[in-house]
Amino acid sequence: MSGKTFKKAQRIVDQWLLTKTDRTRVEYERDINRYVHHCVALGVNPLRAEPGTAATYLSMLRDEYGMGPSARLRAYRVVCAFYNYAKRWGHARRNPFDDVPKPSVVAEPKLGMALDGAVHFVREAFYTSERLYALAVTLLVLGLRISELLSADIEDISTEAGQRVLWVLRKGRDEKIAMALPDFVFAALVAYIGTRRSGPIFVTRTGKRLTPHGAYDSVVRLAARAGLHHISPHLIRASTTVILLELQQGLEKVQEHLDHGSPQTTVGYNKKRLRLSASPGFVLERALVDALGSSMEQSRIAVAA
């Protein structure tokens, strides 16, 4: 693929991204650029790609990036959205993903950590660094998406009617909303921010805004050190949902706190939580233990006699 062809494809990608809101643009840019670079590596013009290119891209996401079905489905949808735009404006004739199986996702959500796991996670963060501790407790208590938290600035910490709040631009919204900032979280943020008075709350060692990718890796490594495997920023959000439900918070309150787009999302977490905790297997286990205990005791008495 010539440099001229690549520049044309990149120009159309940039035009498409300009039609998105700031937050959506950032999220979409990562996935579409990853796809374009995949095409370039294969010497394929993204605007003339065939199903084989689409199939190898999805395989790469699974094998090289370790993405699960949900993440691959998100990337699939992003690239399909780009092709819909390109077709509509006459830049592409077809969408190569139309002939590739869509990544399937298990309907039930992953529940993440219970309260005891969250305690281990936060304790490990506390003894690791002020930044990780602030990141861990803010994600967990406020139930934020990682992109929502990392886009927040120091100036977004303020007071409303005597209550400390963090102003957050939630997914799909045009304006920031105030979220109550408990003392526990506020103290962690203040200790981490130190003498800084403006700019991003979470920064790299060079002072740049921490990216979702960088935070993701830090969270995964932190969880592993705490003995919690396969925990990601998204599963911290799931953990917030489950823990609040375990603490008898109402479904509506939990949905609002987590900013779930549909009540069914919150209900889905609750159904799985209840299904697991009330499994008939536990009833059978108790019956077996009782029966085995009685029969074994009778056997010992018979042998002793």
pLDDT value of position 26: 82
Is 123 in the same domain as 248? yes
Query: Considering the domain boundaries, does residue 290 fall inside one?
Result: no
* Tens of pLDDT, residues 236-266: 999 999 999 999 999 999 999 999 988 888 9
Is 151 in the same domain as 38? no
Query: Considering the domain boundaries, does residue 202 fall inside one?
Result: yes
Three-state SS at 179: strand
CB 166 within 8 A of CB 178: yes
Query: Considering the domain boundaries, does residue 198 fall inside one?
Result: yes
Is 193 in the same domain as 230? yes
Is 55 in the same domain as 80? yes
CATH number at residue 252: 1.10.443.10
Three-state SS at 208: coil
Is 203 in the same domain as 271? yes
Which helix (H) or strand (E) covers residue 215, if one does? Answer: helix 212-225
Query: Considering the domain boundaries, does residue 229 fall inside one?
Result: yes
Rounded-to-integer distance, Cα 269 and Cα 111, Å:
7
CB 214 within 8 A of CB 204: yes
Domain count, the chain: 2
Query: Considering the domain boundaries, does residue 296 fall inside one?
Result: no
CATH number at residue 61: 1.10.150
285, exposed or middle or buried, with CB in 10 Å at 0-12, 13-18, 19+?
A: exposed
Query: Considering the domain boundaries, does residue 128 fall inside one?
Result: yes
* Tens of pLDDT, residues 59-97: 999 888 888 888 899 999 999 999 999 999 999 999 999
| Residue 29 belongs to domain spanning | 3-99
CB 104 within 8 A of CB 206: no
Is 132 in the same domain as 235? yes
Query: Considering the domain boundaries, does residue 291 fall inside one?
Result: no
Residue 110, C-beta contacts closer than 8 angstroms, at least 6 positions apart: 235, 238
Per-residue pLDDT of the chain (305 residues; tens, 9 = 90+): 566 777 888 999 999 999 998 778 888 998 999 999 999 999 999 999 999 999 999 999 988 888 888 889 999 999 999 999 999 999 999 999 999 999 987 667 888 899 999 999 999 999 999 999 999 999 999 999 999 999 999 999 999 999 999 999 988 788 899 999 999 999 999 999 999 999 999 999 999 999 988 898 899 999 999 999 888 898 999 999 999 999 999 999 999 999 998 888 899 889 999 999 899 999 999 999 888 886 666 666 555 55
φ, ψ for residue 134 (rounded to 5)? Answer: -65, -40
Query: Considering the domain boundaries, does residue 51 fall inside one?
Result: yes
